[in-house]
Amino acid sequence: MYMNKWEKVVLLDRLLKNSKYCVPLKKILRELSCSDATFHRVRDFMQTNLNAPISYSRKYKGYYYENNDEVSFELPGFWLTKNEIDALLCIDMAVENLQQGFLGEILKPIRSRFEAMLKAQRSSLSSLRKKIRIIPICSRGCNDDIFRIVSSAIINDKRLKIRHVNLADNTISERTISPQALVRYRDNWYVDAYCHLRNGLRSFALNRIKTADIDDEKFQKVSQHDMESFFASSYGIFNGTAEHVAVINFSGIAAREVCDEKWHPKQEGEWINGDVYRLTFPYGNSHELEMDILKWGKYACVVEPEDLKENIKVKITEMMKIYEKK
């Protein structure tokens, strides 16, 4: 693997800094993927130009940093290997796709430093972008100002007054909430919050929040245990106490896909007769679960409970009526 001089400097620095004992030459050559002569050139460069206190122990036949008790050697500036820069830029592009305007501005100074490092290592951000594709599916637009206000309120434990559009009847309601966490779910943003109107935990889609203002009243902190009990135990974004257990059989292509999918943190899966995959997990509100079952058509069959099975039957019947109309 090709490494330029600075990458070798960074790796040698980490190797010497993280080792409790002298580092043998053989290990250094292996980690730096270089020859004996190249290592000595790198060592000489660090000692001459960076004042690196690299010493050799004849007794232990290895290299080490000869630091004093008060000051330890540090490389000037901020350096990463090319692979680390590439990995961070991949994360940067993923984050930018989540909320381009707001997060893009936050990461702009960091991105410029990464670009400078890439240039020094004979690469570029534009060439890397061509090799990575991130395609958000069914992503709904979120106002940057709303995102910024909600994020700030979460970080600083501030209450918010919001105007929220109800999905069911498209009416606007005014709520006072204590936002606890920002959630990215199926390519859309939600805020998990304590609702002071309902006196309980709720999730609000950020794209349905039309206004948000800081409220100076006391913030209602919810324990992590209560958050997990309410949000994590149920299914999907329709949260609440998980009072039911779904058992679903998947066949054909659905079985081969679902066996590798994570539907619920507490799910259990097993193969039946080698060609049917049975998935079992708890749930509360069945609305989102029903949609996920229906998308697999004939390849998904609800075993239990009966209520869930009947809900699926009703939806299939209603769908058939639509297509039977002349």
Mean per-residue pLDDT, 49-58: 90
Res. 42 pLDDT band, cuts 50 70 90: very high
Beta-carbon contacts of 42 under 8 Å, excluding residues fewer than 6 positions away, are: 5, 8, 9, 12, 32, 34
239 within domain boundaries: no
Mean pLDDT of the chain: 85
Chosen domain end from 232, 267, 292: 232
Task: Residue 292: give its domain's CATH number.
Answer: 3.30.70
Contact 18, 31 (CB under 8 A): no
pLDDT over threshold 50, residue 311: yes
Q: Are residues 284 and 306 in the same domain?
A: yes
Chain centroid to CA 214: 27
Q: Total domain count for the chain?
A: 4
Task: Residue 213: give its domain's CATH number.
Answer: 2.30.30
108 within domain boundaries: yes
Q: Cβ–Cβ contacts within 10 Å for residue 253, how many? A: 10
Per-residue pLDDT tens digits for 117-128:
666 555 666 666
Q: Are residues 310 and 272 in the same domain?
A: yes
76 within domain boundaries: no
Range of the domain at 124: 82-129
Q: Are residues 260 and 223 in the same domain?
A: no
Chosen domain end from 201, 232, 263: 232
- How many Cα atoms sit within 13 Å of 237 on the Cβ side? 19
